[in-house]
Structure 1
Amino acid sequence: MDTAAVARFEASRDRLASLAYRLLGSAADAEDAVQDAFLRWQAADREHVEVPEAWLTKIVTNLALDRLRSAKARRERAVGAWIPEPLLDGDPMLGPADTVEQRESVTLAVLTLMERLSPVERAAYVLHVAFSYRHAEIAGILGITESGSQQHLHRARRRIAAGTGHGTGLAPASARRIVKAFVDAASSGRTERLVALLTDDATGVSDGAGLGLPAKPVRFPTPERLASAARAFKPSPAKRRLVGGSPSIHAVVVNGCPAMLATLGDRVLSVVVLEVRDDKIAGMHGIAAPDRLGRLTGEWLRQEHDVPLIESW
């Protein structure tokens, strides 16, 4: 390819990666989809591509849908058995965040709920809500009718409605206050302090890696179970030996929500993302598997950080 063709693709890379991430919920899979799109762009008869941005959007969308429809993906992403990959605030892969709906659509809660959608419903939702595509454009990308696009979007919005309104777009000071209250209560080891921070219907999920368990989702279906699990955050010599030292605990924003980040040197050990409703914690995602933290760690190392909540846990 000539320099101009490469530059044209690179100008769209961040947008394409954001699109693929919202469709797939995985930064690693999104990067693979964008690289596959680059290979398609390289091989294309580009003189006959009238609108490169539209062409690339269609390619990436359909590459992502092919991944979602694959038998391997269906096994790995069975509803209830998969947790999205977290991204640190400021990561360009998070994409548009101008409206409330755009910010909510990239929370871990909504990315998880989107697993209940068909691939086409998911694509119609992401293209319209996050990237403001009109139904006529979505129809052309997905090979469906305009009325079909409207129906898919309506069903998607209805199915994920329960996952909205969880405190996205928080100011850093508000996020830090929420995380500090959670850390203080968890460090105390007292379940009642934690329960007091939770909504009556609070639930949680962990990938199991941070609990010394096999890396598979562990669910906490009630506030009491969630509080009991979070109480394990209380430090001890055995836990420090398990992670290889005394981590620092930071308050950050991940996928638009307040989060607690545990770091040791230049490693991110784990992240706990909190969904907030009416100033209480309505949900929690705990992620510690290293293969789910690679991109977040890289972004963490590139950014400047606030003073940690706990210097040495």
Structure 2
Amino acid sequence: MEQDGLHEFLAHRPRLFALAYRMLGSASEAEDVVQETYLRWDGTDRAEIRSVEAWLTTALVNLCRSELVSARVRRESYVGPWLPEPMPTAGGELGPLETVEEREQVSLALLTALERLTPVERAVFVLREAFGYAHREIADMLSVTEVNSQQIFRRARMHVREDKVRFEIPPEDARELVERFLGAARDGDVEGLRRMLAAEVVATADGGGVVNAARRPVVGAEHVARYLAGLLRWAVPEMKMAVEEVNGEPAAVVRVRGGVVLIVGIELGADGIGALRLLVNPEKLARYTELAGPSSR
């Protein structure tokens, strides 16, 4: 019986991790929640369970809601801005990413925006928007009414979209843009960077107090261009820069001796690059290095 239960759980595990990651914005926290879901599954009388998917999803989502409350408390003492933990697109851990919409659901931009939602808003939004559950199913999972689920979803979507600066361009154009950005940053070309940036661009860095990083967002094309150019002046011979697929989108990745030391997520607005998310906290970059390998090429 235990072996059958394990096989059933493992069949659902990839989807559970993908759901937990979207809920929490952290791969390490998502792993912990998936493991706790298995422990609950293993200790449950499964003879009464009509739908394995519904039971596991309900258990996981409600564990995520509790984790979000704890995470919010932890993030109040986090040093500097908090950004999601990046994941390589390749490998399949994020689930299917075949459409623009699916890629957007795991983008650093959207995961950052989800931080403004309450746990129940985030649960409804992710279940509906990313996984396509009907409001009736969501209502059953979260112990709310179907009408309430619809209202929560509308409110969550409004909050997520209110600061939207994204401007969709073809993937090949997005990659070319990141390559040009990386080249200008590597060369210390302040003017070249400034021309690529929107006037009110915002650069946010997450060092977590572990490494030196700006503890407040840097705002404005001139300030951000100089900040970025200065950031890479510490270049060492072992440093390599490349464009890699991160969270469904091309991003600038900097490695030293194979290990990732910086990931820059780029969000394009109508007037140029509107937002930059710089991840330098080594605790958040370790899993990316492990999954992507010492080099993506």
Q: Aligned match of 1:258 in 212, 237, 250?
A: 250
Amino acid at match of 1:231: A
- What is the alpha-carbon distance in structure 2 between the residues aligned to residue 263 and residue 231 of structure 1? 17
- Corresponding residue for residue 107 of structure 1: 107
Query: Which 10-residue stretch deviates more, 53-62 or 277-286?
Result: 277-286
Q: Secondary structure at the match of 1:89?
A: coil
Deviation at 1:75, TM superposition (A): 3.8
Unaligned runs of 5+ in 1: 306-313
| Structure 2 counterpart of 1:120 | 120
Any conservation in 2 of the 1:210–1:270 contact (CA below 8 Å)? no
2:239 aligned residue (241, 247, 257): 247
Q: Which residue of 1 aligns with 2:280?
A: 288
Between the two structures, name the one with larger relative contact order (CA 8 Å, sep ≥ 6).
2
Aligned counterpart, 1:310: none
Question: For residue 136 of structure 2, what is the aligned residue in structure 1?
Answer: 136
Paired with 1:47 and 1:150, the residues of 2 have a C-alpha distance of 32
What secondary structure is seen at the aligned counterpart in 2 of 1:93?
Answer: coil
Q: Where does residue 63 of structure 1 map in the other structure?
A: 63
The 1:133/1:170 distance shift into structure 2, 3 A limit, reads same
**Contact 1:122–1:156 (Cα < 8 Å) also in 2:** yes
Deviation for aligned residue 1:88: 1.1
Q: CA deviation at 1:55?
A: 0.3
Q: How does 1:118-197 map to 2 (within 5 A)?
A: 118-162=118-162, 164=164, 166=166, 171=171, 173-197=172-196
TM-score normalised by structure 2 residue count:
0.90
Task: Provide the rounded CA distance (Å) in 2 between the counterparts of 1:94 and 1:77.
Answer: 27
Distance 1:150 1:167, change over 3 A: same
Aligned to 1:268: 260
CA contact (8 A) 1:96 1:130 kept: no
User: How far apart are the structure 2 equivalents of 1:262 and 1:211?
Assistant: 17
Counterpart residue identity of residue 178, structure 2: V
Match of 2:204 in 1: 205
- Mapped contact 2:210–2:281 kept (Cα < 8 A): no
Q: What is the deviation of 1:29?
A: 0.1
Identity within the alignment, %:
36
Task: Tell me the distance in 2 between the aligned counterparts of 1:211 and 1:34.
Answer: 27
Alpha-carbon distance between aligned partners in 2 of 1:180 and 1:126, rounded to the nearest angstrom: 31
Q: CA deviation at 1:143?
A: 0.6
Confirm or deny: 8 A CA contact 2:82 2:208 kept in the other structure: no
CA RMSD of superposed structures (Å): 2.6
Q: Distance in 1 between matches of 2:287 and 2:127?
A: 24
Q: Are residues 1:15 and 2:15 paired?
A: yes
TM-score with structure 1 length normalisation?
A: 0.86
Which residue identity is paired with 1:260?
A
Unaligned runs of 5+ in 2: none
Q: Deviations over 1:177-229 (max 9, x none)?
A: 1122112221332322211001223211011479952x674411222222121
Measured in 1, the distance between the counterparts of 2:44 and 2:211 equals 48
Count of aligned pairs between the two proteins: 296
Separation in 2, partners of 1:32, 1:46: 22
- The 1-side partners of 2:14 and 2:30 are apart by 11
